[in-house]
């Protein structure tokens, strides 16, 4: 069985120019925008007290994004806020003045006209973009990498998008979608990965993801927890990780939690970048085969990478069995704990913490992380059973 790999972040620090993008003020604007949607509700923060006792930590909290806007994943937070910002910029108005009601009004449609939003996705981001475009009366085109689950394809199609599964990996799909957007009249690329010359929209997406962090912080305080001691967050291109770590680095400037990024071993571009210690981005190429489809990205987001260099304590590279373990633990909780239906890309941090606390092989990592009876852990289950058949196969052992 492949082992969990880990390393302490020893990359050189930068001037931290991107951290203010994830300030409480900026994330507050994103939350206010999402709250304007009639479909909005705060997603649950599950407290797993019995599991905490079993693992030997003080408390364990899981932000459950399977309830987000009825879409079974958090991704819509980013795409929707990016679209609103794009429209606001075109109309030269403050995005704070563009809630759901204004964005769906005939007056706005007349002023703004029709745009087509292009994106690449393994499923959740594309579904979020398609849903938001549909709700706002815009068009969307979605490209999916080879091997994408049929059910994820169908869910995007149901939202009214033009969607295809291509014979290339995720990173190539991003390039294809961007080319199509550049060629199209009123075409707009909405991608959560940034590269040189494409930074504005990914920043808005990251700020949209911040809604989840802000909600979690408020929910923790409502339970009497002023600050978690540890935060674990998974990464594909790193936009989610940069959003979460950026927000909490701003929130707890004087005393940040120990913050750890977890990647799928088949696509561990951040881990590989951190391994070299020179502060430069390293790509992971090939088919990126992993059950964690949402994390199967080999080319990091440049903005996020800068935030992660400065504020991540540890990088972890996790084989698929770690995610499977996390899915089972969350799906079949100890008596008294709430159930969390967590998909392949949502549960990997759970598998990591359980392995670190219970497997003597990871004693050194446990000590490095300072995980003990005083630890209060926060993680983000970013998707539910977005591939229901695969979920059953893993959790039920059903072929």
Catalytic residues: 75, 122
Q: Which residues contact 89 (CB under 8 A, 6 or more apart)?
A: none
Cα–Cα distance measured from residue 157 to residue 180, given in angstroms and rounded to the nearest whole number: 18
Locus of tokens 């009214």: 160
Helix axes 302-311, 269-276, angle to 10 degrees: 60
Rounded to 10 deg, the angle between the 24-35 and 76-91 helix axes is 100
Residues in the chain: 399
Residue 261 half-sphere exposure toward CB, CA atoms < 13 A: 36
3-state secondary structure 214-255: HHHHHHHHHCCCCCCCEEEEEECCCHHHHHHHHHHHHHCCCC
Task: Please identify which residue in the block is written with the tokens 């475009």.
Answer: 133
Burial of 134 (0-12, 13-18, 19+ CB in 10 A): middle
Q: What is the DSSP string of 181-215?
A: HHHSTTEEE--S--BTTB-HHHHHHHHHHHHHHHH
Nearest to 39 by CA among 125, 99, 96: 99
φ, ψ for residue 93, nearest 5 deg: -125, 160
Backbone angles phi, psi at 190, to 5 degrees: -120, 90
């Amino acid at each position: 069985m492949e082992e969990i790999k880990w390393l302490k972040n020893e990359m050189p620090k930068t001037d931290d120019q991107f951290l203010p993008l994830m300030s409480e003020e900026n994330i507050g604007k994103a939350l206010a925008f999402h709250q304007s949607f009639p479909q909005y509700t705060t997603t649950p923060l599950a407290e797993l007290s019995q599991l905490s006792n079993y693992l030997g930590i003080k408390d364990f909290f899981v932000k459950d994004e399977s309830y987000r806007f009825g879409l079974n994943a958090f991704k819509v937070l980013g795409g929707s806020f990016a679209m609103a910002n794009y429209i606001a910029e075109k109309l030269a108005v403050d995005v704070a003045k563009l809630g759901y009601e204004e964005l769906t009004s005939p007056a706005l449609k007349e002023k703004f006209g029709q745009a087509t939003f292009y994106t690449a996705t393994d499923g959740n981001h594309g579904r979020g973009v398609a849903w938001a475009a549909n709700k706002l009366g815009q068009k969307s085109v979605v490209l999916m990498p080879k091997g994408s689950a049929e059910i994820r394809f169908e869910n995007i199609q149901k939202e009214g998008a033009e969607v295809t599964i291509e014979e290339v990996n995720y990173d190539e799909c991003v390039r294809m979608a961007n080319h199509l957007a550049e060629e199209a009249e009123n075409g707009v690329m909405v991608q959560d990965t940034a590269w040189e010359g494409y930074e504005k929209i990914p920043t808005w997406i990251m700020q949209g993801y911040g809604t989840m962090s802000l909600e979690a912080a408020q929910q923790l305080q409502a339970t009497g927890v002023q600050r978690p001691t540890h935060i674990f967050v998974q990464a594909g291109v790193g936009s989610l990780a940069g959003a979460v770590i950026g927000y909490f680095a701003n929130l707890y400037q004087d005393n940040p939690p120990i913050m750890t990024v977890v990647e799928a071993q088949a696509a561990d571009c951040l881990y590989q970048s951190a391994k070299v210690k020179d502060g430069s981005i390293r790509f992971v190429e090939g088919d990126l085969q992993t059950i964690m489809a949402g994390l199967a990205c080999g080319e990091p987001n440049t903005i996020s990478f800068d935030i992660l260099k400065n504020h991540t304590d540890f990088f972890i590279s996790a084989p698929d069995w770690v995610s499977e373990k996390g899915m089972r633990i969350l799906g079949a909780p100890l008596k008294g704990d709430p159930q969390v239906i967590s998909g392949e890309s949502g549960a990997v941090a759970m598998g990591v913490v359980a392995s670190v606390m219970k497997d003597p092989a990871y004693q050194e990592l446990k000590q490095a992380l300072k995980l003990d009876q005083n630890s209060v852990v926060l993680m983000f289950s970013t998707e539910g059973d977005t591939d229901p058949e695969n979920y059953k196969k893993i959790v039920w052992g059903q072929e």
